[in-house]
Amino acid sequence: MAKRPAELTYWVDERPSLPVTALLAVQHLAIVAIYLVVAVTIARFGQMPAEDGVRLVCLTMVAGGVGTILQSAGRFGIGSGYLIPTTTTTILLPPSILALERGGLPLLFGMTIVAGAAVALLSRLIHRMRPLLPAELAGFVVFMVGLSVMTLAERQFLGHALPAGDRTAHRVVAVLTLAVIVVASVWGGRHLRLYCTLVGIAAGYGLSAVTGRIGADELAGMAAAPLLAVPEVGGFGLAFDAELVLPFLVAALAMALNAVGAVTAAQKANDAGWVRPDMRNIGRGVLADGLCNVVAGLVGGVGQAATSGAVGLSVATGATSRAVGVAVGLFLLALSFSPKVAMLLLAMPAPVIGAALMFSGCFLVMNGIQVIASRLLDSRKVFTLGIGLAFGLGQLVQPVEAETLPGWLVPLVSSPLALAVTLAVLLNALFRIGIHKRSRFRIDAARLDVERLADFMTGQGRLWGAAPDTLFRARFATQEVVETLAGNGMIADTAIAAGGAEVRRPVEVRTSFDEFTFTVTVAYAGEVLHPRSDRPTEQEVLSAPDGARSLAAFLIGRAADRVTTAVHHDRCEITLVFDA
């Protein structure tokens, strides 16, 4: 069972009042609207008339609303049940533009359905991929998603593309907007913290209006757009192209990994005792993303993915209630009937976008680092994450020229997230070669070397990426078993061979790891050590002849999650199981 984090005001299963839910949903809606710029980019690239462009955005919001409700509600085996809104993604932008060039909107929508079906198929396999997606790799995905969000935020925040004379006013608005958000979050108290981003965005809109950051074109577009209109669903047609299957499949893999990162971040945010990703829950979250893309292609909208920035926002505000996610989905569906409101959201000034994304990106980056740090890393894992990070950062600093690459590789290098995560997944699979899931260590009971035993246990923990807490308990319990056996004369360390010679019989420590449990078996000849579940009394420990032994047996049982003993032929075995 998940443990409620103390810093949350509204936990995942808790329902805020209706007004509070609505305000929190509007706050997340502002983050979702930022990413809708991808749909606007596609409309402009396709040189669509203004009416068709608004229709494309509205239908994209329909698909996003459906996907967000499926993801947040978590019903019927679909969706993670966490507050993770869905919106357009840059991951799909390169293959989408390629589809527009080759076959227009019908091909775009048809291939979006292909990508959605591929993501849905991956969701059925994701729980079997746990060895390929360990906790540290899931944390790396969260970190790279956060880094991508903050990179986008920095570009919007500083306004590099603006003329030099406009940058000062732009950056003043960005800094003041971020300052309002941070002040409301840090010093605003429990209630104001809930709406810190909404307060900051409202302040940013006001500052932008005063300083002329909202352009005449945006104002004219909002004025001309009707208040209410029913978006015409479909009618564009569908087309498919076998040559585009590979680029969209690569994009589907990147979207699935993005969902893995988003759901992992949400799981950690909602469980103070979080240890490892719940792969079955992640699979349901990936399925919701896949179905969202199928719906987008069918209704005539742009493909979408889980919004990790919203996860960071929910952590920052202390409200992770799934009811807020459902409300966000309902708002998206409602706003799809109001082109004027859609235009208002799409007209969000760049400095306000930068400030809001910077705020939520901070929490994603730190969450990712915390997940990575929750596991011990050996050289293989360091190389896996380090090389992936190096190429991801390289793509940020010096983007690879897509024109020089085969078309099927373009989605892989289209974003730092896609490149870094794909490399890390491939390297993790490669470096698993040679990792033994079982190992053994022999100890001479007459010359007990506890330090060598501790070094052996530490090495295995690093190799397998065990959590530090798990390794500490395993090391402590194993040392306690061996020292108790040796200290109480319970080991028959010599035996008489067939020829009459005396031979040494070492204690054997066997370890195994299966991604879920860390198991240690101590095998020896001698007297059975029975663990104790009841705490020995102080009188028993101090006065009884075997008081120290009873205390050690109790401590061993407390350190391990499960302890069993057995006798095979003339060898005793005590097995310690630790949930990893």
Average pLDDT of 40-57?
A: 76
Among candidates 493, 501, 548, which has minimal Cα distance to 526? Answer: 493
Q: Which of 179, 198, 140 is nearest to 375 (CA)?
A: 140
* pTM for this entry: 0.67
Identify whether the C-beta of residue 388 lies closer than 8 Å to the C-beta of residue 420.
Answer: yes
Indicate if the pLDDT at residue 496 is higher than 60. Answer: no
As a whole number, mean pLDDT of residues 343-359 equals 78
Looking at per-residue confidence, does 319 or 418 come out higher?
Answer: 319
What is the reported pLDDT for 180?
A: 92
Mean pLDDT of 534-549: 81
Provide the phi-psi class of 572: left if phi over 0, else alpha when psi is between -120 and 50, else beta: beta
User: In the 3-class helix/strand/coil scheme, how is 96-160 assigned residue by residue?
Assistant: HHHHHHHHHHHHHHHHHHHHHHHHHHHHHHHHHHHHHCCHHHHHHHHHHHHHHHHHHHHHHHHCC
Q: Please, are residues 93 and 248 in contact by the beta-carbon 8 Å criterion?
A: no
The predicted pLDDT at position 17 comes to 92
Split at pLDDT 50, 70, 90, the class of 433 is: confident
Question: H helices of 300-376, where?
Answer: 308-317, 322-335, 339-346, 350-373
The mean pLDDT value for 540-553 works out to: 82
Distance CA 491, CA 573 (A): 12
User: Quick check: 364 pLDDT over 60?
Assistant: yes
- The mean per-residue pLDDT over the stretch 539-544 comes to 80
Q: What is the pLDDT of residue 328?
A: 93
Give the model's pLDDT for residue 322: 93
Residues 124 and 287: their CA atoms lie apart, in Å, by 8
Per-residue pLDDT tens over the stretch 439-463: 888 887 667 777 888 888 888 877 7
C-alpha angle 532-535-536 in degrees, rounded to nearest 5: 95
- Which residue ranges form the domains of the chain, and what is each CATH number? 18-159+214-348+355-373 (no CATH), 438-579 (3.30.565.10)
Looking at the predicted structure, is the pLDDT value of residue 494 above 80? no
Report the DSSP pairing between strands 571-579 and 86-88.
Answer: unpaired
Edge-first strand order for the sheet with 438-443 is 438-443, 507-513, 517-524, 571-579, 562-568
Measured CA to CA, the distance from residue 84 to residue 285 in angstroms comes to 9
The answer on pLDDT for 44 being more than 70 is no
> Could you tell me the two tokens for 200?
């900051």
Of 397, 353, 389, 394, the closest CA to residue 368 belongs to 389
Q: Dump pLDDT digits (tens) for 513-535.
A: 766 678 899 988 888 888 888 88
- Percentage above 70 pLDDT, the chain: 90
- For position 414, what pLDDT does the model report? 64
CA distances 410 to 91, 130, 242, 414, Å, are 10, 27, 16, 6
More confident site: 67 or 472: 67
pLDDT at 487: 82
> What is the spatial distance between Cα 416 and Cα 412, in angstroms, rounded to a whole number?
9
Find the Cα–Cα–Cα–Cα dihedral 427, 433, 435, 438, rounded to 10°.
140
What SS3 state is found at 218? helix
Mean pLDDT over the full length of the chain? 82
- Give the per-residue pLDDT at 111: 93
State pLDDT tens for residues 202-251. Answer: 898 889 888 887 777 777 777 777 888 888 776 678 999 887 887 788 77
Do 67 and 292 contact (CB within 8 A), yes or no? yes
